[in-house]
Each structure stands twice: as structure tokens, then as C-alpha cells.
């Protein structure tokens, strides 16, 4: 890399990543893309293992999962990309994580352990942690959306979830004042259903935020550079680069076509689910036609620049070398993987359940 290139790169404060952008100079930005890929693969493997430990072997590794979640959020904070996650996908991911919890709560096969009571309505109106959850959620969502209806729905839902478990409803720590109101409506489930549901939700959150960590802190060009370092031919590396570079363009094309469709009142004229599906089908023609036109133009441009005849291409200037930090992180991850998956230890049992 020439001195001018180094200076140009150092003067850049932000660089474009797969989604949004990332501040340069953070420890995560300096990591090699191979380390990042290795990290998400190991974290995902650990998560899948930790939340699937059978009840007969002590059940999911809750503390281990909790530590992984803290680790992922810490890495997001260090990379200074957490704000993008909060502004975009954090709220969207919460229903998915809650859905995971409820699926496992109600669709698990019969599990051992004492029955736990859940209230549809506990027979009193509680003031306590549930109130804080309601107010906190309402304020947070209202601050983002400025809509009372939109803020009220998740606030009520989360408030209801916090009054459902009998342990919370009757705990003096969680419920400070009770106002008798109506009858009690409840159902019982094995204690392990709730534990496993919680572990699955925690694990799914790790999988989601680990993926975002990678997408928020990785540049497409880094992948091209890493492939060249791995001695993949230029044509193959450039193919992968083309693929990733066009993601954003196609998403923009899709949005533009959808907007054009809405401008032609498609969403007003058609209201049924089937009609909306048909609308989606009609997006496909302009989308694919645009894709073909763009490819032809890019193909001609590449041809005109002598792409087919090119030999001995220079490497991408974003190519990095694996540093001591990269090797240390990979070694730590391997050690953690051996400890948990191969030796079968659990962080939860280390601290004692």
C-alpha cells in the first residue's frame, strides 16, 4: 500500500459496511475478516450447544448464554455500531425472540420438574416491576415512533408477560402493591418449559446479534481481499465481491419499484392478502428486467476495461494481515469451544445452579 493510500485511509472517519457504516480505528475494525468469520461461527456453535443441553445433563447453560450475550453487546459497543442496531433492528428483533420463548413454552414435549403457574389474570392489579416495564417500554417506543397506539401495544404486551409467572406476581420484590380486581385465571406448565423457553430466547438473541455484529463491522471489499489471501483466483474473488456489492443496489431497486407501485395506488385498489401477493408478483418483472439491464451494462463496462484479458491483478488495498490479536482471539475461542463442547463442562455448573 502506498503512503498516499495509507494517509487517505487514515483520514476516513467512517467506512461503509454491509449494513450502515462503521467508525474506523476501533479494535473491531482492525480485526481481520477471517477472525470475524471464525468468531461468528464459534459463537453460533457455542450457542446452539449451550441452549440444547438436555435436562438429564443439567439443562441449558444459562450463565454461559448470558455471558455470550454480554460479550456480543460489548463488541457492538466497542465497534461503536450499537447505535445503528438500536435505531434499526433491535425493536424488530424483540418479537422474534419473544416468539421463540412462547413456541418453546407451549410446544415442548412433556418435561420433568414441578408445575409452574402462569396467570392470564392474577386477580389483582399489581404495582411493581411490571409497572416499570410498562412505563419503560412505552417511553422508549414513544420516543422512537411518537405514536401512542404503537407505543401502547408492546408496553401492554410486555407488562402482561411480567405479571404472568406466579413467582413474579407473588414476590414482594417484584410486586409492591396489589389492588384486588376480578377473578383469577391461570394455567400450569412444567418448570422446565419456562427455563428452556428462556434459554432458547436467550440463544436466539445471541444468534441474531452476532449476525448483526458481523454485518455492521465487515466491508464487502475485505472479503474479496481475504479470498485473494487464501489464494482464491481473482475471477472467483471478484465474483463474490460483485455479489455483495450489488446487494444494496438491488434493495434500492426493489424499494423504488415498490414506491412506484404505491404511487400507482396499488395498495389502495387492492386490499386482500391474495391481491397483495399478486402485487408482489408484479414487482418481479421490473426487478428482474432491471437486474438484467444492469448486468449487461456492467458486463460491457468490464469488457471495455479489458477484464477478460487481465492477468496479474493488484491486490485490494483493504487487505490486512492476521495480527497477534487475531491469533489470540481465535485461540481463546477454540479454548472456550473445547471447554464447553468437547469436554462437556458448563459455566452454569461452574458457578453452581
Partner 1 sequence: MSEGENTVAKTETKFPWSNYTLKLGRGEPVSTTQYVLYAVQIAAVIILSYLSVAVIPLSYAGISIFYFVYPFFLVFTMWWGAWGMLGAYVGCVVGAGVLVGTGPVPSIVYSISDLVPPLIAFVLYRGLLSKRGYDPLWRDLTDKEVAGVKTKRVGAWFWFILINGVILNIISAEIGVGVLYKFGLVATNGFWPFWIGWVVGDFVAMVIITPVLVKGLTSLVERQGLVNHGWIT
Q: Is residue 334 close enough to count as binding partner 1 by CB under 8 A?
A: no
Q: Is residue 351 close enough to count as binding partner 1 by CB under 8 A?
A: no
- 159 near 106, Cβ under 8 Å? no
Size of residue set near partner 1 by CB under 8 A: 66
- In the 8-state DSSP scheme, what is residue 58? T
Q: Is residue 288 close enough to count as binding partner 1 by CB under 8 A?
A: yes
For partner 1, the binding residue among 24, 26, 88, 108 (CB under 8 A) is 108
Dist CA 30 CA 79 (whole Å): 10
Dist CA 91 CA 211 (whole Å): 16
Ranges of beta strands (E only) in the chain are 14-16, 21-23, 115-121, 124-128, 175-180, 185-190
- 35 near 326, Cβ under 8 Å? yes
Q: Is residue 212 close enough to count as binding partner 1 by CB under 8 A?
A: yes
Per-residue x/- track, 65-104, partner 1 (CB under 8 A): ---------------------------xx--x--xx--xx
Beta strand pairing call for 175-180 and 185-190: unpaired
Q: Is residue 285 close enough to count as binding partner 1 by CB under 8 A?
A: yes
Between residue 309 and residue 328, which ones bind partner 1 under the rule CB under 8 A? none
For partner 1, the binding residue among 63, 78, 94, 291 (CB under 8 A) is 291
Burial 6-16 (b: 16+ CB within 10 A, else e): eeeeeeeeeee
Dist CA 343 CA 247 (whole Å): 41
Q: Is residue 336 close enough to count as binding partner 1 by CB under 8 A?
A: no
Q: Is residue 121 close enough to count as binding partner 1 by CB under 8 A?
A: no
* Full DSSP string of 172-208: TTTEEEEEE-S--EEEEEEHHHHHHHHHHHHHHHHHH
| Grid cell locating 100 | 421463540
Piece in contact with partner 1 (CB under 8 A), picked from 122-130, 202-210, 221-229, 338-346: 202-210
Q: Is residue 41 close enough to count as binding partner 1 by CB under 8 A?
A: yes
Q: Is residue 200 close enough to count as binding partner 1 by CB under 8 A?
A: yes
Q: Is residue 242 close enough to count as binding partner 1 by CB under 8 A?
A: yes
In 3D space, the residue among 89, 95, 65 whose CA is nearest the CA of residue 76 turns out to be: 89
In 3D space, the residue among 231, 234, 221, 241 whose CA is nearest the CA of residue 317 turns out to be: 221
Nearest distance from residue 224's CB to partner 1, in Å? 12
Q: Is residue 215 close enough to count as binding partner 1 by CB under 8 A?
A: yes
| Binding interface with partner 1 (CB under 8 A) | 37, 40-41, 44-45, 47-48, 51-52, 92-93, 96, 99-100, 103-104, 106-109, 200, 204, 207-212, 214-215, 235, 239-240, 242-247, 249-251, 254, 274, 277-278, 280-282, 284-285, 287-289, 291-292, 294-296, 298-300, 302-303, 307-308
Amino acid at each position: 500500500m502506498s503512503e498516499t493510500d495509507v494517509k487517505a485511509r487514515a483520514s476516513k472517519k467512517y467506512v461503509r459496511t454491509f449494513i450502515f457504516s462503521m467508525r474506523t480505528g476501533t479494535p473491531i475494525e482492525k480485526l481481520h475478516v477471517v477472525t470475524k468469520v471464525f468468531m461468528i461461527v464459534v459463537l453460533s456453535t457455542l450457542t446452539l450447544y449451550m441452549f440444547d443441553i438436555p435436562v438429564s445433563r443439567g439443562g441449558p447453560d444459562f450463565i454461559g448464554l448470558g455471558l455470550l450475550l454480554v460479550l456480543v453487546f460489548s463488541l457492538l459497543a466497542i465497534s461503536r455500531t450499537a447505535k445503528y442496531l438500536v435505531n434499526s433492528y433491535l425493536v424488530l428483533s424483540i418479537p422474534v425472540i419473544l416468539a421463540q420463548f412462547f413456541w418453546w413454552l407451549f410446544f415442548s414435549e412433556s418435561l420433568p420438574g414441578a408445575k409452574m403457574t402462569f396467570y392470564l389474570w392474577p386477580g389483582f392489579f399489581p404495582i411493581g416491576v411490571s409497572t416499570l416495564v410498562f412505563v419503560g417500554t412505552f417511553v422508549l417506543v414513544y420516543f422512537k415512533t411518537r405514536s401512542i397506539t404503537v407505543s401502547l401495544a408492546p408496553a401492554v404486551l410486555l407488562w402482561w408477560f411480567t405479571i404472568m409467572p406466579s413467582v413474579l406476581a407473588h414476590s414482594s420484590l417484584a410486586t409492591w402493591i396489589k389492588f384486588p380486581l376480578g377473578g383469577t385465571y391461570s394455567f400450569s406448565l412444567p418448570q422446565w418449559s419456562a427455563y428452556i423457553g428462556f434459554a432458547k430466547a436467550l440463544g436466539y438473541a445471541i444468534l441474531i446479534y452476532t449476525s448483526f455484529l458481523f454485518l455492521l463491522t465487515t466491508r464487502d471489499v475485505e472479503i474479496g481481499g481475504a479470498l485473494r489471501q487464501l489464494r482464491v483466483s481473482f475471477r472467483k474473488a471478484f465474483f463474490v465481491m460483485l455479489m455483495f456489492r450489488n446487494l444494496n443496489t438491488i434493495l434500492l431497486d426493489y424499494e423504488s419499484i415498490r414506491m412506484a407501485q404505491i404511487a400507482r395506488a396499488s395498495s389502495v385498489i387492492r386490499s386482500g392478502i391474495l391481491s397483495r401477493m399478486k402485487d408482489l408478483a408484479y414487482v418481479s418483472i421490473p426487478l428482474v428486467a432491471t437486474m438484467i439491464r444492469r448486468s449487461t451494462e456492467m458486463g460491457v463496462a468490464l469488457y471495455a476495461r479489458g477484464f477478460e484479458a487481465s492477468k496479474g491483478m493488484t491486490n485490494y488495498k483493504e487487505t490486512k494481515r492476521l495480527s497477534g490479536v487475531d491469533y489470540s482471539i481465535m485461540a481463546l475461542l477454540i479454548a472456550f469451544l473445547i471447554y464447553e463442547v468437547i469436554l462437556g463442562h458448563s459455566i452454569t455448573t461452574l458457578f453452581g445452579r
